[in-house]
Amino acid sequence: PSMVDIQLSLMSSLSAEHTPTGSISWLAAGINIEDSQDLVREAVHQLPTYPTATQKANIIAKQLTLQSKVQRHQDEADSFMDGVDILEHCRPYEPMDNTGLLHSFDCNSDPMDAEELDEEDEYIIGGEEVEEVVPHEDICISMPSRLKLGRGTNLGLGHLVEEELQLRRGQANDSLAKLQAALGNLAILYRQNLQSANSVHSETRARKAI
């Protein structure tokens, strides 16, 4: 079943003991936000070294949209996480992306001669420490899965942990379905274009398409 199917199933079987209401929709929204973060990181990664104004504007628009979603999700976190401070109990954030491959992006990229980065990722400007701003695509949003193993149950959030686990299974099913469709499309391109190529030029063009 897809994540939407599982979400509907969970909502239809919701018992009165599950409080506050709306937790399943909140969890599903969090998973979708994480997917949006991946897309924004990918868009930033694909920026050329010297992006055009239009490319910068597109990235900013995506980041602002993401910022609104993240802020709304974080504002609702207290009511669903029973006031648990996610930063106090969460696992260390380990991004999957190789940040060394990401292009730096700043519309007003004026170098600050008087700054240096210390070991705690804080800027030192004129003797004052200024905490580095984390892009919204890299923010660790409040989700039960961010808690240390077993911590969610100990904090009385066992129902949220179980609901998220089921939604994650649906997310995995969705990803596998997309992968299967992509592989099917590649197989069609291979069969229709590459195998029927009758010259080096057409074969090269077919390989690029694949």
Within the chain, what is the greatest distance between any pair of CA atoms? 69
| Two tokens, residue 122 | 């804080």
- Residues 174, 168: Cα–Cα separation, whole Å: 10
- Residue 115 three-state SS: strand
Name the region of 126 (left: φ>0; alpha: ψ -120 to 50; beta: rest).
left
Instruction: Note the pLDDT of residue 140.
Output: 85
Alpha helix locations (H) across 81-199?
86-89, 151-154, 158-189
pLDDT single digits (tens) 7-55: 999 888 866 555 557 889 999 999 999 999 999 999 999 999 999 999 9
For residue 208, what are its two tokens?
């690029």
Alpha-carbon gap, residue 197 to 31, rounded angstroms: 43
DSSP, residue by residue, 186-204: HHHHIIIIITT--SHHHHH
First to last CA, the chain: 30
Token pair of 46 as six digits: 């694909």
Q: What integer pLDDT is reported at residue 22 of this predicted model?
A: 87
Residue at token pair 């399943």: 24
Write out residues in the chain with pLDDT < 50, as ranges.
101-123
Do 105 and 176 touch, CB atoms closer than 8 A?
A: no
Q: Cα separation of 131 and 137, whole Å?
A: 17
Sheet holding 122-125, edge to edge: 115-117, 122-125, 128-131
